[in-house]
Amino acid sequence: MITTCIFDLDGVIVDTAKFHYLAWQRLAKELGITFTETDNERLKGVSRMESLDILLSLGTRTYDARAKEEMAARKNAWFVDYINAMKPEDIFPGVRELLVELRKKGYRLGLASSSKNAGTVLDRVGIASLFDAVVDGNMIKNSKPDPEVFLLAASKLKAKPSECVVFEDAEAGVEAAIRAGMKSVGIGSPKQLGKANQVVARTGDFKAEWLDKL
Ligand code: B16
Ligand code: MG
């Protein structure tokens, strides 16, 4: 029986995925690397340094650890500029309503994001209080597709993996949910997220009563 819903942040609750893309693209341009939206799909749910390695693998040069730290910090500063301007109306349509309804029905809610900036985003859009537990990129060693972020969220929520469903927009995130032994709802295209138990185009399309049939 599902008792607990665990939400990814970027691409599920807010459209910060587009800010990550714009910031990575700006860095790629400075480095003379071609970086498309298709390339960006591989970065979703993946940590900042792993994302940088994927981006650099599209070019020909190699960089030492210090240069890479500096590039990641530069990209993050651009990303932080975007998220600092976020407002409550930046939540995807219907998502706040879904969270409130799930809480009313007695489900426990968790947030599990690979992002070290997740706390800032939650504060800016004003929904931190809707979650019983938050796990972000500062609390984990291994990012998705490793199940660590979801298993830590479940343990904070005192739920067994079999009682949890994960809402995810990234292929790596759906894979992480499967490895954690949890059900998943994919947010996006069935072609990309076909391994999820159900796929909806937008988080706000999901109906609380579907949880029993996953
Ligand atoms: P940061 P999620 C992930 O968040 C993003 O999908 C991914 O693109 C990003 O690289 C990662 O967070 C790290 O973010 O640089 O802010 O620490 O989708 O797991 O909520
Ligand atoms: Mg995501």
Check pocket membership of 48 for ligand 1, CB cut-off 6 A: yes
**In CATH terms, are 4-14+88-213 and 17-84 the same topology?**
no
Residue nearest to atom 12 of ligand 1 (CA): 115
Half-sphere exposure of 102 (CA within 13 A, CB side): 28
Name the CATH superfamily, with its identifier, for domain 4-14+88-213.
Answer: HAD superfamily/HAD-like (3.40.50.1000)
Predicted confidence (pLDDT) at residue 41 exceeds the cutoff of 90:
no
Provide the pLDDT confidence category of residue 45 given band limits of 50, 70 and 90: confident
Predicted confidence (pLDDT) at residue 28 exceeds the cutoff of 90:
yes
| Ligand 2 centroid, distance to 169 Cα (angstroms) | 5
H or E element that contains 109: strand 108-112
| Ligand 1 centroid, distance to 72 Cα (angstroms) | 12
Task: Parse the chain into domains and list their residue ranges.
Answer: 4-14+88-213, 17-84
| Domain 17-84: assigned CATH number | 1.10.150.240
The 10s digit of each residue's pLDDT in 50-109 is: 999 999 999 999 999 999 999 999 999 999 999 999 999 999 999 999 999 999 999 999
Residue nearest to atom 8 of ligand 1 (CA): 44
pLDDT for 208: 97
pLDDT for 17: 87
| Ligand 2 centroid, distance to 34 Cα (angstroms) | 23
Catalytic residue among 8, 39, 136, 169: 8
Predicted confidence (pLDDT) at residue 143 exceeds the cutoff of 90:
no
Q: What DSSP state is assigned to residue 36?
A: -
pTM of structure: 0.91
Check pocket membership of 119 for ligand 1, CB cut-off 6 A: no
Provide the pLDDT confidence category of residue 121 given band limits of 50, 70 and 90: very high
User: In this structure, how many other beta carbons lie within 10 angstroms of the beta carbon of residue 128?
Assistant: 14
43 Cα nearest atom in ligand 1 = 8
pLDDT for 97: 97
CA-closest candidate to residue 15, choices 92, 75, 76, 78: 92
H or E element that contains 100: helix 95-104
Predicted confidence (pLDDT) at residue 46 exceeds the cutoff of 90:
no
Check pocket membership of 137 for ligand 1, CB cut-off 6 A: yes
| Ligand 2 centroid, distance to 168 Cα (angstroms) | 6
The 10s digit of each residue's pLDDT in 146-193 is: 999 999 999 999 999 999 999 999 999 999 999 999 999 999 999 999
User: In degrees, to the nearest 5, what angle opens at C-alpha 75 toward C-alphas 62 and 60?
Assistant: 20
